[in-house]
Amino acid sequence: MLSPIPLQSILEIDDPVTYYAERIVSGDIVAGPHVRAACARHLRDLENGNTRGLVWDLTAARYAIEFFPAVLRLNGGKFEGKPFELELWQGFIVGSIHGWKFSATGLRRFQIIYIETGKGSGKSPLAAGLGLFGMIADGEERAEIYAAATKKDQAQILFRDAVAMVDQSPHLNECITRSGSQGKEWNIAYHQTNSFFRPIAADDGQSGPRPHIGLCDEVHEHKSGVVIEMLRAGFKFREQPLLLLITNSGTDRKSVCWDYHQFGAEVSAGAREDDTFFSYVCALDEGEDPFTDEHCWIKANPSLGITIQEKYLRDQVTQARGMPGKESLVKRLNFCIWTEAISPWIGYEPWRNAGQDPIDECELYGRTCYGGLDLSSTTDLTSLVLAFEPVAHDPYWRLLPFFWLPADGLVDKSEKDRVEYPVWKTQGWLETTPGKAISKLHVLHRLAQLADCFDIASIAYDRWRIADLKQLAEDEGVVLPTLIEFGQGFKDMAPAVDQLETLISNDQLRHNNNPVMTWCAANAVVVSDPAGNRKIAKDKATGRVDGIVAALMAIGKTNAVDAKESSLSEHILKHGIRTL
């Protein structure tokens, strides 16, 4: 296991920001791609930033870094009452924020700071410390410091860190006034400059905050950019305002958090230019798996061995193996991996394994299968999945999916859903129908064509969207396989969820690696009723799940193969399918 390096106290280093950047870029300290890029950016700016009006003020950087151990005290566990000695990565952030300035004005260069690390790295105390610095040591009259969130109770979490620091610090205890009873403080004030620090939520924005510093915690939980924009709207009243966004990795790639994540990574890499934006984004390198390689852990956990221990992470990994929902949570919170859903039902490894030996579509001609059809209303994804029975020479259930979208507006829809629809169409994984809405006539004729190729015993469907297709089939004289209604509630879905899960877990199913289907699988989230029955929850998924819904409908009807067979497991045993 590679451990973090401070080999010496940060205060013993003349320029800890540049020192850290050089050691990251040289590889002496292990870090992920975006942190390496941020450090390389610092070194580039030292070399040529003056051409853009930037100047590195080492004295200001050290002043801010030294404030932490000199004034602030930590709280909780073994850190209770100890000076807040910054780790090198924290010093890089604090020093960069306060050291980089515009030469023409002498004001701070950075206004937006985005920090994304693994859980337990010390982001919240760092943010609270920066807020306290801004209130008492930044030379700002009537400074307004806000711990902001969408809800007041969430905003209180970071604010309580700041209050605890005040409680622990002899210096701050003497000069800061608290409002509210102990443990229920709602404001702290520094009367020497008429400044204050308080929590604020979206509903409090009517008064028009004028933040000198805004601190937003858990940005991945923000459903919109309302809170962030509320704070930024007040920047016009300040000369050098600062907005600090701290977060774990999230699940929603359409969220404001993902937007800042992407923008921060691109600015650090030089793909975009914004001299007012700073990011420290922890991530693993492509292809690294924290479940098999502990050496990459430090890339997501820069305080590994200090605020978070290897044993804790090892326990998290052990508990997550074989539990897809837990696996996703651990990857997201502990290893900075953006997952596609809050608790994805199907784990990445089992799904990948099920795609290890795709079969040629032609080899499925004439083989009995069952269909599941998830028709969209107008512009959404329409999905058909065929589930093929095992045969003597191929002892696996085979899933063969088909997908349709309207041809018009495909690029716009790709940008909205943040997936590569045009690429998938070119590669043959996705079909398009003419016009701006799904052409059910086009889908109907394609279904008839597939029925000529495959022995489709039946097609299960969601009754809410089938009437038009049935009428079209009658009008066009198209004879389809037997259509069977399939409810979308717990009653019908729960057995199908159990069946498909069993097939995947027992290595009895294969798919053809269609990337649209893999995307749907990654997005799929299940919810349970009080009896433990499960179904797919489309409202909790961050992307399309239509392919998985269609697969469940197809698999759910395979029990009808033989009325004497009471379960899929009996069917499997009867037909001699390999079990584990």
Q: What are the boundaries of each domain within the chain?
A: 354-574
pLDDT at 574: 39
Q: What is the pLDDT of residues 335-373, one digit of tens each?
A: 999 976 555 688 767 888 899 888 888 899 988 999 999
Q: What is the pLDDT of residues 551-566, one digit of tens each?
A: 999 999 885 333 333 3
Give the residue with greater pLDDT, 328 vs 435. 435
Rounded mean pLDDT, 150-158: 84
Q: Are 557 and 461 in contact (CB under 8 A)?
A: no
Distance CA 321, CA 330 (A): 10
Distance CA 306, CA 3 (A): 9
pLDDT at 254: 83
- Of the CA atoms within 13 Å of residue 166, those in its CB half-sphere come to 27
Q: 250-254, 279-283, 472-476: lowest mean pLDDT where?
A: 250-254
Rounded mean pLDDT, 24-50: 96
Task: Band the pLDDT of 7: cuts 50, 70, 90.
Answer: very low
| 13 pLDDT above the threshold of 90 | yes
Tokens of residue 477, six digits: 């004289």
- The percentage of residues in the chain with a pLDDT greater than 90, rounded to a whole number, is 63
Give the residue with greater pLDDT, 125 vs 575. 125
Rounded mean pLDDT, 564-578: 37
Task: Band the pLDDT of 78: cuts 50, 70, 90.
Answer: confident
In 348-366, which positions are buried (b, 16+ CB within 10 angstroms) versus exposed (e)? bebbeebbeeebeeeebee
Q: What is the pLDDT of residues 467-502, one digit of tens each?
A: 888 988 888 999 999 999 999 999 999 999 989 988
Crossing angle of helices 546-556 and 515-523, rounded to 10°:
90
Give the residue with greater pLDDT, 501 vs 146. 146
Across all residues in the chain, what is the average pLDDT? 88
**Nearest one of 579, 558, 212 to 395, comparing CA atoms:** 579
Is the domain defined by 354-574 classed in CATH 3.40.1790.10? no
Q: What is the pLDDT of residues 205-226, one digit of tens each?
A: 556 789 999 999 999 988 888 8
Task: Band the pLDDT of 432: cuts 50, 70, 90.
Answer: very high
| 87 pLDDT above the threshold of 90 | yes
Task: Band the pLDDT of 17: cuts 50, 70, 90.
Answer: very high
- The percentage of residues in the chain with a pLDDT greater than 70, rounded to a whole number, is 92
Rounded mean pLDDT, 75-80: 82
Task: Band the pLDDT of 579: cuts 50, 70, 90.
Answer: very low
Q: What is the pLDDT of residues 41-58, one digit of tens each?
A: 999 999 999 999 999 999
If one counts every other C-beta atom within 10 angstroms of the C-beta of residue 367, the result is: 17
Distance CA 554, CA 548 (A): 10
Q: Are 89 and 20 in contact (CB under 8 A)?
A: yes
